A and B are shown apart, each in its own frame.
Chain A
């Protein structure tokens, strides 16, 4: 019986890690539905980029208020996770404050620091909530944020709020028990923040205090395991995916749009049928451009899972600012939603995708959105974790134009002009130098 709590805890750890692993595997499987793209070049440059952008959050601070608040929550999260290690080991071994005897006064310093961070996180969460719900900052209230995305963002804040309060209450009751000399509650830690909570608890009997301390402890750690598994359903997944996402980001200069290698082969064959092209075999690809998630690259699919729904992209997007239907954030969210739909189709059908008569184009992203893009790269520049919505837009345009001849009619005339006269307007190429003779 004495080992019952350890056993329960062990089961909790196994279940939550098991569930988490299962979902993570599903995400990886879904991402791998994408087409291959080589992003294994220059590993040291990629490492640097990841450290700078994901770890160092360099792009977050381009908006100072949100950037600093986010930095606090982020650093708090990383540090408090160190404490998590002790909590988990305590739970498994049945010890209390396992690290304290080994770390001595440094342990006190650590606990004090965690408490300070917990307080800072609480303050940041309060400001975040206010920005979303009281100040109603525009980018959080766009169309694509209605319903679940809005709730998700709030739930995360409530989660963090509750976890921090539980953490501080746990410490506060613990410190009282330490002062009372309760068995097991060794003198350890220093409590610069939770000491202010002791008036709430110091009138309780020893037994009640122990009960409260245990309750806070269990709720806190259970909450963390729930949160861990909530990630999968949430934009909060970015806390994990931001790292690979920045590592595998496009390192090329933004103006360089990718050249379609299959088309290159076709064009070379057309211009010079005799020429043998060694690097690529002249097979006609099944499809040009992108109409569904299977046609995207795995990096684009990973982008969609990593998106934080922060809306920085859309708030800089000239089309979105001027009321067009296009929103680069929505492009990412819709890509993810379609990928999730495909994923659950595969789950249901024993590992195989059964065609469902739907696709990313039209069912999720409309041509109207795609044609509103000016290819200005503002969204790519704005994204704090280097997501590239523009590449998806351009790939889908390629499908519309090459596979469906569905470009807007003015663009068709423009292209006909380019084809016939070598200029987007109906001028004769013979007049190209006319300007030199005019004044």
Chain B
């Protein structure tokens, strides 16, 4: 089924505007697992008749991995390019499913001249519910044990701990916390450009350590709110041979599934 996804270019050709731009991010655009998250979120946007658009082929990497890999030049080049695209369409509000894009757009673009209201999709979904545009009945997740992994760039970096948790509670699920959570949450191992390289030698992979913490809570589902965390935790669960028992899901997917989207 082809999804109906408006782009800013289309809208502006029709003389229309979108009230929010959905920043899909590189993982959300190209990574097979992350694309599912993107689609789930788009389905919710469509169902709630949200006025939104994506940049499509006009979007490019925010520069986050380059910056964290020490290439400030490349980061700023990417940022300048994106800012000029966003400003061309007079964008004021951005929602994104990736905490890395979220953090960079929100915190690191202003100094380079890009000023937007940037929202993470968990905050956005919470707002949709509050405004009555979206409602969730627990549905398939009623009573399920769900543990939530805090992405570093959403949690510690931006102090967003509650929005994702509130959404999980809305599913009538049982939210169980890992031994290190919220401001003490352990990284999945992907940040700081680690996603794109092998780890230095040590005695364990970081994602295995984190997955073990998650599995200790005996969850039916490990909820994540970041495409990179999702990949790391999914690999961890596979490594522990727990795929049959525990699923790694983005919060957007949980909500889309609960609403049979």
Inter-chain contacts of B210 with A (CB < 8 A) = 318
B29 within 8 A of A: yes
Question: B residues 51-68 with Cβ under 8 Å of A?
Answer: 54, 56-57, 59-61, 63, 65-68
A170 CB, min distance to chain B CBs, angstroms: 44
Please name 9 pairs of A and B residues whose Cβ atoms are closer than 8 Å in the assembled complex, sorted by A. Answer: A253-B107, A255-B153, A255-B156, A325-B200, A372-B202, A411-B196, A419-B74, A423-B61, A424-B61
What are the 4 closest A-B residue pairs judged by CB atoms, nearest first? A255-B157, A422-B60, A401-B70, A375-B192
Tell me if B30 and A322 are in contact (CB < 8 A). no
Beta-carbon contacts of B188-203 to A below 8 Å, as 1s and 0s?
0111111111111111
A378 within 8 A of B: yes
Stretch at the interface among B124-132, B170-178, B179-187: B179-187
Tell me if A257 and B67 are in contact (CB < 8 A). yes
A41 within 8 A of B: no
B82 CB, min distance to chain A CBs, angstroms: 9
Count contacts on A: residues with CB < 8 A to the other chain: 71
B220 within 8 A of A: no
The secondary-structure label for the interface of chain A is helix
Tell me the total A-B contact number using a CB cutoff of 8 A.
219
B3 within 8 A of A: yes
Q: A375 and B68 in contact (CB under 8 A), knowing A323-B204, A411-B193?
A: yes
B133 within 8 A of A: no
Tell me if B209 and A322 are in contact (CB < 8 A). yes
Question: A residues 304-352 with Cβ under 8 Å of B?
Answer: 316, 318-319, 321-326
A433 in complex: contacting residue of B57, B68, B77, B196, CB < 8 Å = B57
Inter-chain contacts of B234 with A (CB < 8 A) = none
Q: A418 and B66 in contact (CB under 8 A), knowing A254-B156, A316-B184?
A: yes
Tell me if B76 and A267 are in contact (CB < 8 A). yes
Inter-chain contacts of B66 with A (CB < 8 A) = 414-415, 418
Inter-chain contacts of A266 with B (CB < 8 A) = 73
Inter-chain contacts of A368 with B (CB < 8 A) = 200
Tell me if A423 and B35 are in contact (CB < 8 A). no
Question: B residues 66-99 with Cβ under 8 Å of A?
Answer: 66-74, 76-78, 80
B248 CB, min distance to chain A CBs, angstroms: 18
A233 within 8 A of B: no
Given A259-B111, A267-B77, A381-B183, 7 other A-B residues pairs in contact with their CB atoms under 8 A: A256-B107, A263-B76, A318-B210, A324-B199, A325-B200, A374-B192, A378-B186
A321 CB, min distance to chain B CBs, angstroms: 6
Tell me if A319 and B158 are in contact (CB < 8 A). no
In chain B, what residue has the closest Cβ to A424? Answer: B65
CA distance A90 to B35 in the complex (A): 77
B39 within 8 A of A: yes
Inter-chain contacts of A380 with B (CB < 8 A) = 156
A435 in complex: contacting residue of B29, B69, B153, B205, CB < 8 Å = B29
In chain B, what residue has the closest Cβ to A408? Answer: B197
